[in-house]
Structure 1
Amino acid sequence: MYKTGILNSEISKVLSDLGHTDKIVIADCGLPIPKGVKKIDLALTFGVPSFETVYKTILEHMAVQKIVIANEMKEANNSLYQLIKGTNIDTESVSHEEFKHLTSSTVAVIRTGEATPFANVILESDVLF
């Protein structure tokens, strides 16, 4: 049995298979998920699990070189924006419409129970060397 790390087998598999520049999404419970993109649904109820819990856990186990957010997060969800800016990872912001378009080229979307506006990020995989 897996002793440490992420216990969710689907997330563990996706992270293990990522190559340099592959992308995943951590999403709130309202973000549309494009057809053909793997959905890993963790949502139980509104707020559970929270975006922050999932985001911090993924960052512990994934080498990330870039984060993409929606411009709208800065005003509509400033506390989350401040959390993301505090990671010291290169961050790009695009319109929410562009963000939704970009999700179609990701490996997977991890859907949380988060129910606050624009609580979505695209994480671009880095290399460890």
Structure 2
Amino acid sequence: MIKHPLLNADMNMLAATLGHTDEVTICDAGLPVPVGVQRIDLALTHGVPGFIETVKVWLASCQIEGVVMAEEFADANPAAYEALMTELDNETERSGRSISVTYLSHEAFKKRTGISRAVIRTGECTPYANVIFRSGVVF
């Protein structure tokens, strides 16, 4: 049995097959998933699992070098935005590597998910709780 916190088989397969700069979206329950992009649906009910819970597990399991999020996120959902930024700061401290942050309009963000290797849908039911992770390398 694996020792790291990621138990979901589909997410493990995704993590194991990512290459440098591949993108993965973690989103709330309402974000549309583009046709042709793999959907890993974790949503069980409202709020379960939560966005930040899912982000924490992903960060503990994968090396990232950057994130993309909607410009509207900070104003529309300050609690989730601040929690995400705290997790990114924690990851920077743990890894010793900086994480770039790019902001797009929400409409441009939704289009950008079309190049994600997968969209991981959580049960989060708060607005704009969405992030695209750009994979880094461990060497």
TM bucket, shorter chain:
over 0.9
The list of structure 1 runs, each at least 4 consecutive aligned residues, that deviate by more than 4 angstroms after superposition, is none
Which residue is 1:53 aligned to?
Answer: 53
TM-score, normalization: structure 2?
Answer: 0.89
CA-to-partner distance for each residue in 1:17-46, whole Å, 9 max, x for gaps?
000000000010000000110000000001
Q: Could you tell me whether the CA contact under 8 Å between 1:85 and 1:91 is conserved in 2?
A: no
Secondary structure of the residue aligned to 1:91 is strand
Q: Could you tell me whether the CA contact under 8 Å between 2:25 and 2:133 is conserved in 1?
A: yes
Could you tell me how far 1:4 is from its partner in structure 2?
A: 1.8
Which residue is 2:12 aligned to?
Answer: 12
Matched, 1:128 2:138: yes
Structure 1 residue ranges without an equivalent (≥5): none
Q: Superposition pairs for residues 1-129 of structure 1, below 5 Å?
A: 2-5=1-4, 6-86=6-86, 87-88=88-89, 89-129=99-139
TM-score, normalization: structure 1?
Answer: 0.96
Could you tell me how far 1:3 is from its partner in structure 2?
A: 3.2
RMSD: 0.9
CA distance in 2 between partners of 1:84 and 1:3 (Å): 26
